[in-house]
Amino acid sequence: MKAWQRQGVGLENLKLVDLPTPEPGPKQLLVRVKAVSLNFRDKAIVDGVYLPHLMTQPFVPVSDASGEVIKVGSEVKKFKKGDRVTSHMFTKWLDGTPNKDDGAHALGGPKNGGLAEYMLLDEDATVMTPATLTDEEASTLPIAAFTVWFSLVEYGKIKAGDTVLVQGTGGVSVYAVQIASALGAKVIATSSSNEKLERVKALGAKEVINYAETPDWEKEVLKITEGKGVNHILEVVGGQSINRSIEALALQGHIYIIGFLESMMAEVNVFSLLAKQAHIQGINVGHRRAFEDMIRAFDELDIRPVIDTVYSFDEALDAYKHLYKGAFGKIVIKVSE
Amino acid sequence: MKAWQRQGVGLENLKLVDLPTPEPGPKQLLVRVKAVSLNFRDKAIVDGVYLPHLMTQPFVPVSDASGEVIKVGSEVKKFKKGDRVTSHMFTKWLDGTPNKDDGAHALGGPKNGGLAEYMLLDEDATVMTPATLTDEEASTLPIAAFTVWFSLVEYGKIKAGDTVLVQGTGGVSVYAVQIASALGAKVIATSSSNEKLERVKALGAKEVINYAETPDWEKEVLKITEGKGVNHILEVVGGQSINRSIEALALQGHIYIIGFLESMMAEVNVFSLLAKQAHIQGINVGHRRAFEDMIRAFDELDIRPVIDTVYSFDEALDAYKHLYKGAFGKIVIKVSE
Amino acid sequence: MKAWQRQGVGLENLKLVDLPTPEPGPKQLLVRVKAVSLNFRDKAIVDGVYLPHLMTQPFVPVSDASGEVIKVGSEVKKFKKGDRVTSHMFTKWLDGTPNKDDGAHALGGPKNGGLAEYMLLDEDATVMTPATLTDEEASTLPIAAFTVWFSLVEYGKIKAGDTVLVQGTGGVSVYAVQIASALGAKVIATSSSNEKLERVKALGAKEVINYAETPDWEKEVLKITEGKGVNHILEVVGGQSINRSIEALALQGHIYIIGFLESMMAEVNVFSLLAKQAHIQGINVGHRRAFEDMIRAFDELDIRPVIDTVYSFDEALDAYKHLYKGAFGKIVIKVSE
Amino acid sequence: MKAWQRQGVGLENLKLVDLPTPEPGPKQLLVRVKAVSLNFRDKAIVDGVYLPHLMTQPFVPVSDASGEVIKVGSEVKKFKKGDRVTSHMFTKWLDGTPNKDDGAHALGGPKNGGLAEYMLLDEDATVMTPATLTDEEASTLPIAAFTVWFSLVEYGKIKAGDTVLVQGTGGVSVYAVQIASALGAKVIATSSSNEKLERVKALGAKEVINYAETPDWEKEVLKITEGKGVNHILEVVGGQSINRSIEALALQGHIYIIGFLESMMAEVNVFSLLAKQAHIQGINVGHRRAFEDMIRAFDELDIRPVIDTVYSFDEALDAYKHLYKGAFGKIVIKVSE
């Protein structure tokens, strides 16, 4: 089969190769990949900065994939040939608490991922693709949508009527606008582009703030919320931004630390943290049971994934380059028809 | 002021009288009542079967009221003259755990309720009327809508994609269809009338079952849910119905015991309860903090309260008689313009 | 190997036979059984009233066993030869929500249990035996102790200072006295025997009630708790007892339905349930993650399991007969040195 | 009455004065103060760095006090003359979520506190003194013990068998050792003094680390926990210490941010935070309902408060000076017999 393989650090070591088509073990599925989507993690893996001690052998990159089951192992019970399925990245984190070695069993590094004509999925680490989504759309769920869901629903127990602050318009952030709005929350979105703010308004955001025009955006958030602050903040920026987030937070509000676009270090004002009795939660995707919950929710909620650009399988490197530049919503690679 | 007064057991002891217009204490509001709505509790109070030891003195009945603030006490901070407000029944249950004597401080018995031109509300037991609702609509929130919210959101931590079974089409049940649907849950509704089932479908129910035509409705529920059962059941019937509910439940599903239309006693099959690891939760409305949460949610969700009939103040007894017969949604009494 | 085998309904169909010593699969452990303990479930399986549709083939009975690892499968990582281990009954329920087919993968029926010289345990369904307990003591943990733990800790989030009502002095109840006391709760215990009440006092109960002498024991509970009622009740009796339990409960208190010694049906007073805002929770043991939590707790708490009688392997039928009569604490069968 | 009064910033503006003995309002208690204890907050108030905008008028300092009810207001129901009572600092935070203006109603600044012969307590902001404690001991509960309880029990849902890391031997930390141990947790304590480590071992700590001798104490914590890390960390240090805490944490473990002895800013490694899926929780004491829970727990657990030194009323300034230097456990001022 044709496959892209990560053979070392840097985009120049992402190579299109021929690999033997794998055979499913007793509890595995052989899946013909239709589409994959890219995440910040995929970039960090190419750059060699994401758990490099685990990424020592060549592997097929990209964790998030949707496709069709071609063949099932002898003991598989939950899926059959022809099923439309989507991958679950942490293949051993199924429910409850995470495991110490989840990283060592993650798809798209060090386990083979979806940027190939075929991939193996463990029966336990696979979910049914929602009937309402195309394969390209569904391939954007496993990290980007699910990180938002796991933050707001599993950790934050979000309620309709809560207020949510979303920073920026990358893949996670656009989903945050859509999912939080669909759950009945009031979303306040920030961006440095008024054009993008118009687009997130169309996706459900009730209030928007251009942080280039309003650098003290936390004060604007307090004004919008009549001094109460917001209940949930998805923090993707890192660095000093977190202190503005704490100021913008309601008493006992939640900050989900999802990314670190600006800096790996965040200098936190501890006194503000105490005074707000803030919850800060580090997020690292989630478990399969909650992913299945979200799939069911997508069947009820009217959320249409926002795809910035679809690249062909041969254009995979262009897709990565787009990821480096930033996108509005998700970047998808179509692997096969 | 003109007021209806409950002077004893039975509708014949509900009397239209003249009472002195009350004066607000330092932390109270004087409210010109615009509308009240009736609940099963109001009937039980008239019938003398609801906490009769507390209902020994005459009082103005009906707990659920919306109106306009006419005057505020000297220490009131959260409301001002002209505010549109709605009552909170358990005036001492503000947050967290309930108090032993909440029943003794409930509106509409033994404390004066809203079936009068004016009423006093404690500042702490009052919420702002949602801007999106009329007074008549808002008067249906304090028990009927809030009981559903407190069950599903506070106790049940409902998630979008969950399944909810709703029995019948009374005030609580119609709200259950609307609220659960708006929260992204998949609602299965039951009724003995196909015409009513059409109406709940229009309000959001995805699946309906006519239990007169399908007495073993729990089997139909299992079929609809592919054998999984539902996550939440709002039980308003009592009697033997609860065992069908347990059969229809998913593992670790929730049954909220809200009413007892058929019988005060429920003969429960304990083995099924164990096997399902069911949660059964007795519901008795809820606290003010959660009521305020719901108000905020109504501002985001698109829920239009379903009012069966609006009666005039003079027709209050007819409104009660309608309540005895049953209604589709809520019965409202318009008290003033 | 020598093994007892359940070949049909009734104690007369529990037969001592010779079976081939099994070989562990890649993720299994071969365990030399040292001791097993009996539970109400083992009796119900012999009687043919527990999930009889699953118990159609002969199997080795008794789910709860402790022993020593003799051999490990090729892929086993967490255990090694010589480890002291204890069985986890629901071999597929590892964390989070239960599975529909957990009953089909339970030890001691339909899967082979521990009443044999050797048994196979799945690596995932095994816990380390606490260093502080003998094998005989540890064999009493998997159902009796763990049912109490899962009720009070996982479901009930018990806090030190809570009050707990424990009925009777069987295996679960004695553990309830010990565990709840060790967690800092105040235990009220009931029994019809003053001698047994003295013994549970020695095990930690602060207050005791002889329900033969005080049939309205719920009133005594209210008196002891200054009218507040208790926060947690472990209900093992069934039948009408549950309404007394509801009366004895604090507002928003928990009743864990664990057994049904008297009757499979419980006629519940729904109005009391509502007024108390009671939580009723059906209990069916629990998952491995929580079992491991409890094991760690036993290493910190000073709980010495109460064993009524230890029988030899050949006396297994006598042990069952003792179970039918009732015991104070647990009945153990010593399988090997 | 004789009272100390904070008349401005600095110890020199803490003055012994004569004030009129206050009269209780309808829902207040007049309490003859027996003892108060000092907390880091009291120092920060004297230093003028704690919410200075609220501390503009003279007031009696010190929030934590125990004493005897001398007189009750006309509407008081829960207390009577002669009751032994203890103060609750956030007089308006009674249950559930905190209020925006809790700081403005806190005892010991800006509301009059306990460093006077008499003080007024709101009925709702008072708890009964545990029968098992002296007044001097009880005066140490409201902030020091309760901060630990609110962190571990209310937020962290601590379970017996969990591991807890406690830094240092101040008032909060010594209580953390005692409370966590009494709740069945395994405590690891750190200090730079081997003599103090011996004392915390005697109070329940199972493992101790001298961080002066072992600066990379987080590695020692991982070794002690067999690589798992600890479930709960009470962080009182601030500054860079928090990154060591994150390294020492178990997956999904809790860090409670309680103090900032070294620095108001904490530079947090965001990647570690994500990888550990850490919960970080800002702590600011807690609400009355949980304080009452803790009082009940103290009646069951065998915890003897650790008082470093008891000063007389006249020596109040010396007590403050001791606080500035640091103490092992609590500093108490005896106000009257």
- The angle at the Cα of A143, spanning A140 to A148, to the nearest 5 degrees, equals 100
- Find the chain D residues whose C-beta atoms sit closer than 8 A to any C-beta of B: 94-97, 287, 289
Same domain as C327, residue C256? no
- Find the chain A residues whose C-beta atoms sit closer than 8 A to any C-beta of B: 153, 157, 159-162, 182-186, 293-301
Same domain as A52, residue A24? yes
In this prediction, residues A117-130 reach a mean pLDDT of: 97
Contact C161 D185 (CB under 8 A): no
Quick one: DSSP state of residue C140?
T
Cα distance from C160 to chain D (closest Cα, Å)?
5
Same domain as B127, residue B64? yes
- The angle at the Cα of D331, spanning D325 to D334, to the nearest 5 degrees, equals 135
3-class DSSP string for C200-211:
HHHCCCCEEEEC
For β-strands C249-257 and D14-18, DSSP reports them as unpaired
Q: Which residue among B184, B295, B298 sits closest to A301, beta carbon to beta carbon?
A: B184
Long-range contacts of the stretch C201-206 (C-beta < 8 A, 24+): C203/C174, C203/C177, C203/C178, C203/C306, C204/C177, C204/C178, C204/C180, C205/C166, C205/C177, C205/C181, C206/C181
In this prediction, residues D105-110 reach a mean pLDDT of: 96
- CB neighbour burial string for A99-115, b if at least 16 within 10 angstroms, e if fewer: beebbebbbbbbbbbbb
Paired with C207 in beta bridges are: C188
Q: For chain B (length 337 residues), average pLDDT per consecutive 10? A: 97 97 97 97 93 94 98 97 98 95 96 98 97 97 98 97 96 97 98 96 98 96 97 85 93 91 78 93 96 96 96 97 94 96
Q: How far is CA B207 from the centre of its chain?
A: 23
Residue pair C251/C278 in contact by the 8 Å Cβ criterion:
no
Residue C234 pLDDT more than 70? yes
Same domain as B253, residue B219? yes
Contact D265 A269 (CB under 8 A): yes
Residue pair B333/B310 in contact by the 8 Å Cβ criterion:
yes
Same domain as B67, residue B152? no
Residues in chain B: 337
Contact B161 A295 (CB under 8 A): yes
Which pLDDT belongs to residue A262? Answer: 62
Same domain as A97, residue A155? no
Same domain as B68, residue B15? yes
Contact B274 C257 (CB under 8 A): yes
Same domain as D209, residue D98? no
Residues D332/D334/D335/D337 CA torsion (nearest 10 deg): 150
Quick one: DSSP state of residue D1?
-
Signed CA dihedral, B280, B284, B287, B292: sign only: positive
Residue A238 pLDDT more than 90? no
Cα distance from A96 to chain C (closest Cα, Å)?
5
CATH number, position A125? 3.90.180.10
Which pLDDT belongs to residue A260? Answer: 67
Closest-approach residue (CA) in chain B for A290: B159
CA distance A182 to A194: 23
Tokens of D245: 């805490």
CA distance C247 to A255: 42
In angstroms, the Cα distances linking A163 to A204, A207, A233, C228 are 13, 10, 9, 37
CA distance C36 to C87: 10
Cα distance from D79 to chain A (closest Cα, Å)?
31
Quick one: DSSP state of residue A103?
G
- CB neighbour burial string for D168-204, b if at least 16 within 10 angstroms, e if fewer: bbbbbbbbbbbbbbbbbbbbbbbbeeeebbebbeebb
CA distance D312 to D318: 9
- The angle at the Cα of D321, spanning D316 to D323, to the nearest 5 degrees, equals 95
Tens-digit pLDDT profile for residues C45-88:
999 988 999 999 999 999 999 999 999 999 999 999 999 999 99
CA distance B177 to B189: 7
Tokens of D102: 């809790």
Closest-CA residue to A242 (of D282, D276, D51): D282
Contact C271 B260 (CB under 8 A): yes
CA distance A273 to B12: 60
CA distance D113 to D110: 8
Residue C238 pLDDT more than 70? no
Share of chain C above pLDDT 70, in %: 98
User: pTM of the full predicted structure?
Assistant: 0.95
Structural domain that includes position A291:
2-142+286-298+305-334
Residues in chain D within 8 Å Cβ distance of C182:
160, 184
In angstroms, the Cα distances linking A227 to A167, A220, A247, B279 are 20, 10, 10, 38
**Amino acid making up residue B185:** A
Neighbours of D50 (CB within 10 A): 18
CA distance C288 to C286: 7
CATH number, position A230? 3.40.50.720
The answer for residues whose C-beta is within 8 angstroms of residue B38's C-beta and 6 or more apart is: B62, B64, B319, B320, B323, B330, B331, B332, B333
D258, D264, D268, D269, best to mutate vs chain A, most A CBs in 10 Å: D268
Same domain as C41, residue C62? yes
Same domain as A6, residue A128? yes
Which pLDDT belongs to residue C229? Answer: 98
Which pLDDT belongs to residue A271? Answer: 85
Residue pair C294/C273 in contact by the 8 Å Cβ criterion:
no
Tens-digit pLDDT profile for residues C92-146:
999 999 999 999 999 999 999 999 999 999 999 999 999 999 999 999 999 999 9
pLDDT-derived band of residue D262, with 50, 70 and 90 as boundaries? low
Long-range contacts of the stretch D154-157 (C-beta < 8 A, 24+): D154/D286, D154/D290, D155/D254, D155/D256, D155/D281, D155/D283, D156/D231, D156/D232, D156/D254, D156/D256, D156/D281, D157/C157
First to last CA, chain D: 15
**Amino acid making up residue B272:** S
In angstroms, the Cα distances linking A74 to A20, B21, C102 are 21, 80, 21
Residue pair A80/A68 in contact by the 8 Å Cβ criterion:
no
Same domain as A230, residue A176? yes
Residue C167 pLDDT more than 70? yes
Closest-CA residue to D245 (of D272, D265, D226): D272
pLDDT-derived band of residue C241, with 50, 70 and 90 as boundaries? confident
Closest-approach residue (CA) in chain B for D95: B96
Closest-approach residue (CA) in chain B for C273: B282
- Find the chain A residues whose C-beta atoms sit closer than 8 A to any C-beta of D: 97-100, 103, 227-228, 238, 251-252, 257-258, 260, 263-271, 273-284
Tens-digit pLDDT profile for residues A13-49:
999 999 999 999 999 999 999 999 999 999 999 999 8
Residue pair B189/B321 in contact by the 8 Å Cβ criterion:
no
Residues in chain D: 337
How many structural domains compose chain C?
2
Same domain as B309, residue B240? no
Which pLDDT belongs to residue A261? Answer: 62
Tokens of C46: 């012999």
Residues in chain C within 8 Å Cβ distance of B90:
none
The string of DSSP letters for C113-136 reads -SSBSEEEEEGGGEEEPPTTS-HH
Cα distance from B124 to chain D (closest Cα, Å)?
12
pLDDT-derived band of residue A115, with 50, 70 and 90 as boundaries? very high
Which pLDDT belongs to residue C261? Answer: 62
Which pLDDT belongs to residue D241? Answer: 83
Residues in chain C within 8 Å Cβ distance of A97:
95, 289
The answer for residues whose C-beta is within 8 angstroms of residue C298's C-beta and 6 or more apart is: C130, C132, C133, C141, C145, D161
Residues in chain C: 337
Residues in chain A within 8 Å Cβ distance of D265:
267-270
Tens-digit pLDDT profile for residues D56-83:
999 999 999 999 999 999 999 999 999 9
Residues in chain D within 8 Å Cβ distance of C153:
159-160
